[in-house]
Chain A
């Protein structure tokens, strides 16, 4: 049997079968239309189901709104305010100096140099005095020595000598 013949036979079978009409549907048309209308209306007769459908989206939206509100409040709070306060800090006190017997003698007989206000080495005067007390005048650094113009030399004994001389002369 040629291929053309087979194809013609198949076409004949196809035509014969297509002439058959399927048995009319047993679907109840009225019921289908009623159910279709109810479904198209969104199943309004099925209230519990509709409520359940809205429950979770509503809860999600409410939670999201709450989260956004808290986030906005957190951002609106801003950076913490820094307050600067002046606190007087006590200067470190030098250790109590042991009174040395020679100290008084040096103060009586020696020269006491009093620096003019504003001298740079006056701030650490106590340390310097301690250094001089322990090691002598040679311990003074050259650069920090007070200029001669700023030093007033006092001789404790000069007034007494002058008075004695005047008494003896007079």
Chain B
């Protein structure tokens, strides 16, 4: 249901929030996971924040990523203060992707390769590759120009290619 009444008034309806959660919840959570240890909370709070808006943002997906990012950074700062000497749980990082035998890249290897990237590169890769944002939107999200975002993305892909050993021959 699109929620005709709420759409007519410009309010983000429950149908929109449900649809966003179904389609982009996993990617949003993966993005938030790059920044903090409680990605589910960040995604949930971002969706509730969207429901609180009196008018649906024009580009709702980049808006949602921006809110998730802000909440993740805030949560990360709070977690650092709270657990300065605690080690992070390894299980949080072991399941970034759903294992599937048809994939060209192993899920755990991909997770490990992504972890080796810098935070700036990881943000760009996740937002563009799994979030579906354009480089312009990614640049706006992380506070850089779109060309800088694109450079970071290509540098990250080069690193991942070396780590994963994936090439066009292998894909073929």
Contacts and interface: CB of A to CB of B under 8 A. Distances in A.
Interface stretch (A26-34, A79-87, A88-96, A134-142): A26-34
B130 to A, nearest CB: 6
A22 B111 CA distance: 10
B30 A37 contact: no
Interface string B40-63: 100110011111100000000000
Contact of B17 (A16, A17, A33): A33
Contacts of A13: 157, 160-161, 164, 166-167
Interface stretch (B69-77, B96-104, B133-141): B96-104
A12 B18 contact: no
- Specify the main secondary structure of chain B where it touches its partner: helix
12 contacts: A8-B168, A13-B160, A13-B161, A20-B97, A20-B98, A22-B29, A23-B96, A24-B25, A26-B40, A33-B17, A37-B51, A39-B51
- Chain B interface size band reads 35 or more
A9 B158 CA distance: 8
B112 interface: no
A61 B143 CA distance: 40
A11 B168 contact: yes
Interface string A19-58: 1111111111101110111011001000000000000000
B109 to A, nearest CB: 10
Contacts of B148: none
Given A16-B164, A40-B14, A22 B40 contact: no
A40 B7 CA distance: 13
A15 interface: yes
Contacts of A31: 44
Contacts of A15: 104, 171
A14 interface: yes
